[in-house]
Amino acid sequence: MRFIKQHISIIFPLVAILLGLEFFIVFDRATKNYEESLRDGYAMLVVAKDEMSIDDFKAWDSHVYRVAEIEKESIVSRVDTTLNKDKVTTIHERMPNFYSIKLDSYLDDEGLEGVKQNFLKSDKVARVETFDTVHRSNYGLFSFIKFSFQTFIIFMSMLGFFLIIKQMEVWNYLHADRMKVMNIFGASLFLRSKVLINLAFIDAIISAMLASAIFYIIQNSWVRGSNIAILKDNIDKLFSAYDIFSLIMASIAIAMVAVFLVVINVKEE
Amino acid sequence: MSNIILARNLSLTYDNEEKIISDATFSVRKGEFVFITGPSGSGKSTLLKSFYGNLKPVEGKLIMGGLDMLTITKPKLQELRTHLGIVFQDYRLINEWTVERNVVLPLWIAGYSKEVQATQAKRLLHHVKLSGKEHKYPLELSGGEQQRVGVARALAKNPFLILADEPTGNLDEYSSNVIWDLLENACQQLDTTVVVVTHRIPTIFNIPYKHLQIDSKGKVHEVH
Ligand SMILES: Nc1ncnc2c1ncn2[C@@H]1O[C@H](COP(=O)(O)OP(=O)(O)OP(=O)(O)O)[C@@H](O)[C@H]1O
Ligand SMILES: [Mg+2]
């Protein structure tokens, strides 16, 4: 029983931290993807008096990523299909040029306004439409989810670290006597910490496996059954085999730092 | 270099305020058996601590096996300690290890094979009259038995110097006699230097010895 308790008390906080870490990685990956899709689905409309090239736009604002001219024919023909050729040509000449602008990242309201103002500085630009209400509602929900998740993750990891510090005190209490005796008999730092290293190493591996398993379960039952589009759409990007490796490495690193701190803090008396 | 321990005007203190040992000058020669006596709190354990490098001299010199204990480096101290056999007043066994593992701790540190450790454990436990208790844990033994494990551990690697702090402190006559016999033998047969702190020198002691006495002011006197 004591044996199990000893292991649980390090495995539990490690799993908490690893889940936090994995949530962070996965969420970052999912949001990047979601941001990309939001970005790709968004375009602002610019009405200009003269013909413009992409370089002109890029010179005004560095967020410009792609520029497409909206063909005048398609606009005119949508308005009226019965016009004769001459009239169409005159209309074309008098019409301003329409451009659909795609940006290189997903900007908030302020960012969009900034781009708009940059364009309007030029007297060649007559109007800019940012469609910011649609944009805002997408973005608002998205940032809210992102913020709540990050708060949760930070809270969980802090709790984990707090528990690990507690566990280090317990380790010190349980192992200091043995390490002091060994020290007096001339054992090296490595020999002195060997027992603790072995213990922490095994627990670190177990923790990484548990965290991976928990994530696998979350991915395959909860997310699939849930209605959170942002997660569902990215389900394949949630967790990869490479992550297991990262988790094991992170887990071992945290455990070894903890062990090292305990061992060097054992005072000679 | 026949002096194993050489103290010249040695002073020891824990907090730099009050000197526990002050201005002590004495020497211990190779193969000598030394008793250190003195009232409780006079600094006997403190003096032993300085011998195994747990307390640095604040004044004077302390040379152990040719090494200056004030300037000794960590690796050198570690090396020196593997050649000492220390018996503590409060046993200081590793309670989560079996008796067998405790006894061969110095061999384990020196990297001896499992087989060597096992044979040595058997031999040592036979010497301290604890055969058959190999797989017990220290807390399952009596005080006398634990201290005999402590003595076996100190003898495990044939140290050149044994430092024993009250090895027979609260033990019954049987355990005490076993321990005195072992220490006498080590000194006589293996030419091991033995320094023993005790509050009472045994009445029947078969080999010549030196007697250092610490008075209540921390002065060390050589009685004979
Ligand atoms: N770790 C320590 N820190 C500060 N003072 C200490 C420490 N250990 C011992 N002392 C003090 O040093 C003095 C000598 O202690 P020491 O343990 O050497 O006495 P001793 O002669 O071994 O006594 P005893 O016969 O009771 O074992 C005591 O006054 C004690 O309070
Ligand atoms: Mg003492």
pTM of the entire structure? 0.75
**A184/B54 CB distance under 8 A:** yes
* CA–centroid distance, residue B168 to ligand 1 (Å): 18
What distance in Å separates the CA atoms of residue B56 and residue B70, rounded to the nearest whole number?
6
* The pLDDT value given to residue B7: 94
| pLDDT the model gives residue A43 | 81
pLDDT for res A149? 82
CA distance B209 to A185: 26
Q: How confident is the model at residue B36 (pLDDT cuts 50, 70, 90)?
A: very high
The amino acid at B155: L
Q: Which CATH number among 3.40.50.300, 2.170.190.11, 3.40.605.10, 3.40.50.9100 corresponds to the domain B31-45+74-223?
A: 3.40.50.300
Is residue B170 predicted with pLDDT exceeding 80? no
CA–CA dist A170, A156 (Å, integer): 21
Pocket residue to mutate for ligand 1, from B14, B47, B216, most atoms within 8 A of Cβ: B14
Dihedrals phi, psi of A130, to nearest 5 degrees:
-95, -10
**A269–B contact, CB cutoff 8 A:** yes
Rounded to an integer, the average pLDDT of A33-59 is 79
What pLDDT digit, counting tens, does each position of A115-136 carry? 888 888 877 788 888 777 766 6
pLDDT on residue A206: 94
Ligand 1 atom nearest to B214, measured from its CA: 21
Q: Which residues of chain A are within 8 Å of residue B45 when distances are taken between CB atoms?
A: none
- The Cα A210–Cα A204 span in angstroms is 10
Q: Is the minimum CB–CB distance between B82 and chain A shorter than 8 Å?
A: yes
Q: Which helix (H) or strand (E) holds A125?
A: strand A125-129
Which amino acid makes up residue B75? P
Over residues A48-83, the pLDDT tens digits come to: 887 777 887 778 888 888 888 877 777 777 676 676
SS3 state of residue A130: coil
Instruction: Mutate one of A185, A189, A268 to test the B interface: name it (highest B CB count within 10 A).
Output: A185
Q: A13 with A203: CB under 8 angstroms? A: no
Report whether pLDDT(A1) > 70.
no
Give the span between the Cα atoms of B10 and B16, in whole angstroms: 14
Position A143 scores a pLDDT of 76
CATH topology classification for A43-130:
Alpha-Beta Plaits (3.30.70)
Average pLDDT estimate for A148-159: 87
How crowded is residue A93: how many other Cβ atoms within 10 Å of its Cβ? 8
Residue A267 predicted with pLDDT over 90: no
Structure tokens at A200: 């922490």
Return the sign of the alpha-carbon dihedral for residues B95, B99, B105, B106: positive
Q: Which residues of A touch B76 (CB under 8 A)?
A: none
B61 within 8 A of B8, measured Cβ to Cβ: yes
User: CB count, 10 Å around CB of B14?
Assistant: 12
- What is chain B's mean pLDDT, rounded? 91
Q: How many angstroms does the Cα of residue B214 sit away from the middle of ligand 1?
A: 13
Alpha carbon of B45 to ligand 2 centroid (Å) = 4
| Contact A225/B at CB under 8 A | no
pLDDT 10s digits, A193-245: 998 999 999 999 999 999 999 888 877 777 666 666 666 666 666 667 788 89
- Residue type for position B201: I
pLDDT single digits (tens) B111-132: 999 999 999 999 999 999 999 9
Residue partners of B31: CB distance under 8 A and separation at least 6: B187, B191, B192, B193
157-186 of B, contacting A, C-beta below 8 A = none
Using alpha carbons, select from A43, A81, A33, A75 the residue that is nearest to residue A234. A33
Q: Place B60 in a pLDDT band, splitting at 50, 70 and 90.
A: very high
Give the lowest-confidence range in A11-25, A244-258, B37-51, B52-66. Answer: A11-25
User: pLDDT averaged over chain A?
Assistant: 82
Least CA distance to A174: which residue of chain B? B96
Sequence-separated (6 or more) residues with CB below 8 Å from residue B199: B37, B40, B166, B169
pLDDT at A41: 79
Instruction: Give, for ligand 1, the residue of B21, B40, B45 to mutate: max count of ligand atoms closer than 8 Å to Cβ.
Output: B45
Given a cut of 60, whether residue B1 has pLDDT beyond it is no
State how far the Cα of A209 lies from the Cα of A186, in Å rounded to an integer. 37
Q: Please give the biggest Cα pair distance in chain B.
A: 50
User: Looking up tokens 């908030």, which residue turns up?
Assistant: A108
Q: A156-195: per-residue pLDDT in tens?
A: 889 989 999 998 998 898 889 899 999 999 999 899 999 8
Q: In this predicted structure, what is the pLDDT of residue A226?
A: 67
- Residues 6 or more apart whose CB falls under 8 angstroms from that of B42 comprise B214, B215, B216, B218
pLDDT at position B216, please?
86
The alpha carbon torsion through A111, A112, A116, A121 (nearest 10 deg) reads: 0
Give me the total of CB pairs closer than 8 Å, taking one residue from chain A and one from chain B: 42
C-alpha A49/C-alpha A97 separation (Å) is 6
Helices (H), A42-185: 54-60, 72-79, 85-94, 109-120, 132-184
Mean pLDDT on B51-61: 93
- Domains in chain A: boundaries: 2-36+151-264, 43-130
Q: What percent of chain B has pLDDT over 90?
A: 73
pLDDT at A3 over 90: no
Q: Residue A181 is nearest to which of B79, B94, B108, comparing CB atoms?
A: B94
The ipTM assigned to this model is: 0.90
DSSP states of B41-98 as a string? TSSHHHHHHHHTTSS--SEEEEEETTEETTT--HHHHHHHHTTEEEEBTTB---TTS-
Among chain B residues, CA nearest to A177:
B94
For A111-132, b where at least 16 C-beta lie within 10 A, e where not — what string? ebeebbebbeeeeebeebebee
Atom of ligand 1 nearest to the CA of B38: 21
Q: What percent of chain A has pLDDT over 70?
A: 87
Query: Given this model, what pLDDT does residue A99 score?
Result: 86
Q: What residues does A68 pair with on adjacent strands? A: A100
